[in-house]
Structure 1
Amino acid sequence: MDEANSRKPNVLVLGIGNILWADEGFGVRAVEAFHQAYAVPTNVTVLDGGTQGLYLVQYVTEADHLIVFDAVDFGLAPGTLKIVENDDVPKFTGAKKMSLHQTGFQEVLSAADLLDRYPARLALIGCQPVDLDSWGGPVTEPVKSVIPAAVMVAAGILERWGVAISSRRTAAPALLANDIDFAHYERRADRAN
């Protein structure tokens, strides 16, 4: 077997969103929870993509498989998780806008497609937000309560893709610096209210 066929696929587990706008932070908080829960092999990257938009092209084009956590307005009950895979994930900016920053991420996917380096497998774990308008507000309870389920969905997808992850036995290093991790940020938001 040649080296190209024997190498493990590059996998990216990505959270996108803006923690400053309440439930818009779902993707970042979900990827942070995933990072705290699971140790991953060296071919898997766990990344807080925040609102980086086109700066994520490099990461996406390097990924053979991609999981994205995001707050998505599907018009469902608040806190509902919806999983969208492969060609069903909108790629172009002309598609229906489903979140505040999705146009930027659609452009990332479009750029990867134009570069002929689109991930072979793609899964979007979307959560129906309650509040996208509260500047500095915490993630709402219906959204916060489904983060563990979203993490389990991601773990199941990785298992289906043949990626071996394991539960962490010790605390993970912080994914987010400068006290903007979930525990510190939420504590500050609660004190402000």
Structure 2
Amino acid sequence: MRVVILGVGNILLTDEGVGVHAVNELTARYDLPDEVEVIDGGTSGMDCLDQVSDADWLVIADSMRAKKEPGTITRLTGDEIPAFFKTKISPHQVGISDMLGTLNFHGLMPRNIVLLGVEPKSFATAMELSPDIAAVLPKVVDMLVAELVAIGVPPKPKAA
């Protein structure tokens, strides 16, 4: 089994970088099984094609405008994901939607896709998350861990 955890976002624009912060926190707190690859995709979705192609599972962490309260985490799977990309949900959306479209066109689409999207509060120029989004970052990491457990590749907490 091959599982890819992809954190995307621009860490120079406050909450837009929540996906990258989430995967960095995941790898800082957990030892991951060999079947799990974690990718800091930044804003370059198309550059990740080779790394995510033909994965059994692709779990994406990202900021996502869903017209909800800042900090709300939305979980989308399967056909919900392309349908959601019909409207602009993040500044780098073109990269992710283009990546998924290209994978689909070439028959290399991951067999299962999960998107964990966090409603942003700010896209101001800063490398730190806004306090509201920083407060939900541990929950995003917990949700990534829950996805891995559900898939059957549970991570182990690192020794303190």
TM-score (norm 2): 0.94
Does the Cα contact within 8 Å between 2:35 and 2:153 map onto a contact in 1? no
Q: Which residue of 2 aligns with 1:30?
A: 22
Structure 1 residue ranges (4+ consecutive) displaced by more than 4 angstroms after TM superposition: none
Q: Which residue of 2 aligns with 1:65?
A: 57
Shift of 1:63: 1.7
Shift of 1:90: 1.8
Q: Encode CA deviations 1:63-101: one digit per residue, 9 max, x unaligned.
A: 2201111000111001111111121112796x1111100
Query: Do structure 1's residue 107 and structure 2's residue 98 form an aligned pair?
Result: yes
Query: Do structure 1's residue 123 and structure 2's residue 124 form an aligned pair?
Result: no
- Give the structure, 1 or 2, with the largest relative contact order (CA under 8 Å, sep 6 or more): 2
1:136-147 equivalences under 5 Å are: 136-147=126-137
Q: Which residue of 2 aligns with 1:49?
A: 41
Q: Which residue of 1 aligns with 2:157?
A: 167
Does the Cα contact within 8 Å between 2:145 and 2:154 map onto a contact in 1? no
Percent pairwise identity = 31
Distance in 2, matches of 1:153 and 1:125, equals: 8
Q: Which runs of 5+ in 1 are unaligned?
A: 1-8, 171-193
Q: Which runs of 5+ in 2 are unaligned?
A: none
Q: Which residue of 2 aligns with 1:177?
A: none
Give SS of 1:35's match. Answer: helix
Max radius of gyration: which structure?
Answer: 1
Give SS of 2:82's match. Answer: coil
TM-score (norm 1): 0.79
Aligned residues: 160
Distance in 2, matches of 1:140 and 1:151, equals: 17
Shift of 1:136: 2.6
Report the residue type matching 2:91 in the other structure. L
Does the Cα contact within 8 Å between 2:12 and 2:126 map onto a contact in 1? yes
- The root-mean-square deviation of aligned C-alpha atoms, in Å, is 1.5
Give SS of 1:89's match. Answer: helix
Distance in 2, matches of 1:14 and 1:72, equals: 14
